[in-house]
Amino acid sequence: MHRQQAFTVPFENLDIYRGRPIHIDPTSILAKLVDEKRGGYCYEVNGLFELLLERLGFPCTTPAARNAMSGPPYMQKSHKLLPIEVEQRSWLADRGLAI
């Protein structure tokens, strides 16, 4: 599911650069990413994946995170990721990082 979403819902942050408001409630996420067939940034694409996982019975937590790939100085925590458990194994599902 993680891989398939990566091929069908791209990372996209155009609304940020265009100064458009971004709404991260489930209705807005579904409208933009599913109905309008657009991509989104971490809170949107991981939010969509979270909705799917929860619908399938996988409880999710959504801690705040930060991208540390570029090294210090580290920025504030402004990234959404999804740690989940499947058959007593911990996994990190993160559809929201464009590399």
Instruction: Give catalytic residues, as residue numbers.
Output: 42, 79, 94
Residue-range domain boundaries for the chain: 2-93
Residues in contact with 73: Cβ distance below 8 Å, sequence separation at least 6, in sequence order: none
Do residues 49 and 11 touch, judged by C-beta distance below 8 A?
no
Residue 86: pLDDT over 80: yes
Residue 11: pLDDT over 60: yes
CA distances from 69 to 18, 75, 88 (A): 26, 11, 28
Per-residue model confidence as pLDDT tens digits over 38-83: 999 888 998 998 999 999 988 887 777 766 666 677 666 667 788 8
Mean pLDDT of the chain: 83
Residues in contact with 97: Cβ distance below 8 Å, sequence separation at least 6, in sequence order: 11, 42, 67, 79
- CB-CB neighbours of 68 under 10 Å: 10
pLDDT of residue 97: 67
